[in-house]
C-alpha cells in the first residue's frame, strides 16, 4: 500500500522529508472558472476543486493523511488517535482513511451537551465516522492546548489524546497520534504536493491570488511554504474561520514555520491572514449566510459548507469590496476545501424547507 515518494528538489531543505506515502486522494482535482455572485467588476474567480479528492474522502484533509498514515504504517502503528469537533471533517477523513488502510481509529470528539453516548446522532460526518466503525470518545468542550488557570492546570485536547494513547499502550497497542487538523510537519507535505500539482496546472502563470479557509492552519501553511520555496509569486490569503485573532494566527504560522525548518521566514512574509468573517464563532452562522450559500449553490452548482468554505468566500468577497489593495491582481483562485457532509448536520434543514429557491416542491400532476 505504501509507495515510494520523491520530494520535489525545492522542498528538500525542510526539516522532515518523507520517503513514502499512501495514495488516498483522487488527483489531480480540476480548476474551473466560477461565476461567483457578488464579485466586483473586473475580477475573475476560478475554483480549485479539492472537494473532489474523493467521495467520503472529500476535502483538503485527504492529502495530509497520505503522508500521516504512511508515517503511521512506517512506525508499525496499529491504531490512530486524533481529535476534533463532533462534526469534524478531519476526523471523518481520518476514520475513512484508517479503515481503508487497515488501522484502528480513535476519535476524541468535543460534544456540547451531555456526554451521553445514546444522544450522539447519526448525521453528517458522524454518520460516516460510525459507518467506518471508529471508536468515538466524547469529551467536553476544551481548547486544544492545555492551560494554567488560577485554580490549576486545565487539560486540553492534546493532553486527552495522550491519556487515551497511554490507555491503548497499556493493552498492547501501538497508537499513532495526530494533532488537531493533521497540521504538523508531516501533514504539511499533503499541501506541498497539492501546490506541485497546481504548478503543473499553470496556476503561477494564470492567477495572482489564492484564497483558502484556515482552521488549524496546515493547509494554508503548506501552500504558502511551497509558494515561497518555489519562488512563485501568488499572494496567499487565508480566511480565519475560528475564534482566533490575526496575531494569534500569525503566531501559529510562525511556530509551524520554525518546526518546518524555516526559522528565518515570518508568517506575514508568506501569507495574508484575513480576519473578521468568523461571525458569531466557529461553525456559528446566520440566516444571511445560508441565504448566500443558497444563492451560490442554485446559481453556480457549487455547494459550500456553512463552517469553512462559505466563510472563506465571504472573506474573499468582503475584502474585494472593502480592501481590494490587499490582493495582488484580478485573477483569483479560490480553493474549495470540502466539508459538504457538515451540511447534513440538520441545522440548515428549516431554512431549506422555507426558502423559495430550495423548496420548489409540488405534488405530481399525474396522480390527480
Ligand atoms: C472544509 C475545511 N476547509 C478548511 C479547513 C481548514 O484546514 P486547516 O485546518 O488545515 O487550516 C478544514 C479543517 O478542518 C475543513 O474541514
C-alpha pair distances (Å), 208 with each of 111, 134, 176, 267, 315 = 41, 41, 39, 19, 17
Q: Could you write out the DSSP letters of every residue in 244-280?
A: --HHHHHHHHHHHHHHTT-TT--HHHH-EEE-S--TT
| Spatial distance between the Cα atoms of 243 and 235, rounded to a whole number of angstroms | 24
Mutate to test the pocket of ligand 1, among 90, 238, 249 (most ligand atoms within 8 A of CB): 90
Q: Say what the pLDDT of residue 142 is.
A: 83
Q: Distance, CA 8 to ligand 1 centroid (Å)?
A: 24
d(CA 276, CA 92): 28
Task: Report pLDDT for 118.
Answer: 86
Report the distance separating Cα 180 and Cα 144, nearest Å.
7
- Of 339, 340, 342, 343, the one to substitute when testing ligand 1's pocket (max ligand atoms within 8 A of C-beta) is 339
Long-range contacts of 245-252 (CB under 8 A, 24+ apart): 245/275, 246/273, 246/275, 249/214, 249/217, 249/273, 249/275, 252/217
DSSP letter assigned to residue 243: S
Q: Quick one: which atom of ligand 1 is closest to the CA of 220?
A: 11
Intervals of CATH 3.40.50.1100 along the chain? 2-59+184-354, 61-182
- Output the CA 152–ligand 1 centroid distance in Å: 32
Q: Are strands 20-22 and 2-4 parallel, antiparallel or unpaired?
A: antiparallel
**In this structure, what C-alpha cell is assigned to residue 151?**
485554580
The radius of gyration of the chain from alpha carbons, rounded to an integer in Å, stands at 21
Number of C-beta neighbours around residue 42 at 10 A: 8
Residue-level pLDDT at 363: 83
pLDDT at 16: 98
Taking the C-alpha atoms of residue 21 and residue 4, their distance in angstroms, rounded to an integer, is 7
Q: Give the residues surrounding ligand 1 with Cβ less than 6 Å away.
A: 59-60, 89-90, 181, 183, 213-220, 305, 308-309, 337-339
For the four alpha carbons of 338, 344, 348 and 353, in that order, the dihedral sign comes to positive
Task: Let me know if domain 2-59+184-354 sits in CATH 3.40.50.1100.
Answer: yes
Task: Provide the pLDDT for residue 367.
Answer: 64
Phi and psi, residue 260, nearest 5°:
-75, -5
What is the rounded distance in angstroms from the CA atom of residue 217 to the CA atom of residue 202? 25
Nearest CA to ligand 1 atom 13: 215
User: Which atom of ligand 1 is found nearest the CA of 180?
Assistant: 9
Separation between Cα atoms, residue 8 and residue 25, nearest integer Å:
19
Q: How far is the CA of 325 from the centre of ligand 1 (A)?
A: 26
Q: Which ligand 1 atom is at minimum distance from the Cα of 217?
A: 11
To test the ligand 1 pocket, which listed residue (51, 54, 61) has its Cβ within 8 A of the most ligand atoms?
Answer: 61
Calculate how far, in angstroms, residue 37's C-alpha sits from the geometric centre of ligand 1. 23
pTM: 0.97
Ligand 1 center–CA 241 separation, angstroms: 9
Catalytic residues: 88
Q: What angle do CA 108, 112, 117 make, to 5 degrees?
A: 60
Q: Considering only the top CATH level, what class is 61-182? A: alpha beta
Q: DSSP labels for 70-130? A: HHHHHTT--EEEEEEETT-HHHHHHHHHHHHHT-EEEEEEE-SS---GGG----HHHHHHH
User: What pLDDT does 1 receive?
Assistant: 84
Angle between helical axes of 218-230 and 188-200 (0-180°, round to 10)? 50
Helix (H, G, I), strand (E, B) or coil at 7: coil
pLDDT at 114: 79
For ligand 1, the distance from its centroid to the CA atom of residue 172, given in whole angstroms, is: 33
* Burial degree of 122 (CB within 10 A; 0-12, 13-18, 19+): exposed
Distance 363 CA to ligand 1 centre (A): 40
Q: Which atom of ligand 1 is nearest to the CA of 64?
A: 10
pLDDT along the chain (368 residues), means of 10: 96 98 98 98 98 98 98 98 97 98 97 84 97 97 89 94 98 98 98 98 98 97 98 97 95 97 96 97 96 98 98 98 98 98 97 97 76
Tell me the best of 29, 56, 65, 215 to mutate to test the pocket of ligand 1, counting ligand atoms within 8 Å of each CB and taking the most. 215
Give dist(CA 249, CA 84) in Å, integer: 18
C-alpha cell, 103 = 488501522
Atom of ligand 1 nearest to the CA of 216: 9
Q: Find, among 262, 314, 268, the residue nearest to 289 by Cα.
A: 314
The residue behind cell 488527483 is 27
Amino acid at each position: 500500500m505504501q509507495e515510494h515518494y520523491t520530494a520535489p528538489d525545492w522542498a528538500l531543505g525542510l526539516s522532515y522529508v518523507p520517503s513514502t506515502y499512501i495514495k488516498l486522494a483522487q488527483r489531480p482535482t480540476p480548476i474551473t472558472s466560477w461565476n461567483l455572485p457578488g464579485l466586483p467588476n473586473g475580477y475573475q474567480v476560478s475554483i480549485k476543486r479539492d472537494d473532489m479528492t474523493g467521495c467520503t474522502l472529500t476535502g483538503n484533509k485527504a492529502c495530509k493523511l497520505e503522508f500521516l498514515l504512511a508515517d503511521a504504517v512506517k512506525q508499525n502503528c496499529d491504531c490512530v488517535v486524533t481529535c476534533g469537533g463532533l462534526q469534524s471533517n478531519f476526523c471523518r477523513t481520518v476514520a475513512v482513511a484508517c479503515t481503508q488502510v487497515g488501522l484502528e481509529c480513535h476519535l476524541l470528539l468535543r460534544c456540547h451537551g451531555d456526554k451521553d453516548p445514546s444522544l450522539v446522532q447519526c448525521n453528517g460526518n458522524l454518520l460516516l465516522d460510525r459507518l467506518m466503525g471508529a471508536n468515538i470518545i466524547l469529551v467536553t468542550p476544551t481548547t486544544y492546548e492545555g492551560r494554567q488557570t488560577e485554580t490549576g492546570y486545565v487539560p486540553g485536547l492534546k493532553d486527552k489524546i495522550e491519556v487515551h494513547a497511554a490507555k491503548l499502550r497499556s493493552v498492547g497497542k501501538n497508537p499513532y497520534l495526530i494533532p488537531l487538523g493533521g497540521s504538523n510537519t508531516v501533514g504539511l507535505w499533503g499541501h506541498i504536493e497539492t501546490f506541485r500539482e497546481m504548478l503543473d496546472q499553470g496556476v503561477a502563470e494564470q492567477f495572482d491570488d489564492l484564497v483558502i479557509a484556515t482552521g488549524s492552519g496546515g493547509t494554508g501553511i503548506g501552500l504558502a511554504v511551497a509558494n515561497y520555496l518555489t519562488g512563485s509569486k501568488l499572494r496567499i490569503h487565508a480566511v480565519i474561520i475560528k475564534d482566533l485573532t490575526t496575531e494569534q494566527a500569525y503566531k501559529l504560522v510562525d511556530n509551524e514555520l520554525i518546526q518546518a525548518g524555516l526559522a528565518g521566514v515570518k508568517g506575514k512574509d508568506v501569507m495574508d491572514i484575513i480576519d473578521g468573517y468568523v461571525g458569531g464563532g466557529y461553525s456559528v452562522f446566520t440566516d444571511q449566510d445560508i441565504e448566500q450559500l443558497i444563492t451560490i449553490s442554485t446559481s453556480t452548482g457549487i455547494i459550500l459548507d456553512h463552517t469553512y468554505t462559505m466563510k472563506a468566500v465571504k472573506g474573499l468577497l468582503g475584502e474585494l469590496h472593502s480592501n481590494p489593495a490587499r490582493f495582488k491582481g484580478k485573477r483569483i483562485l479560490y480553493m474549495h476545501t470540502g466539508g459538504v457532509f457538515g451540511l447534513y448536520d440538520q441545522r440548515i434543514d428549516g431554512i431549506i424547507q422555507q426558502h423559495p429557491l430550495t423548496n420548489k416542491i409540488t405534488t405530481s400532476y399525474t396522480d390527480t
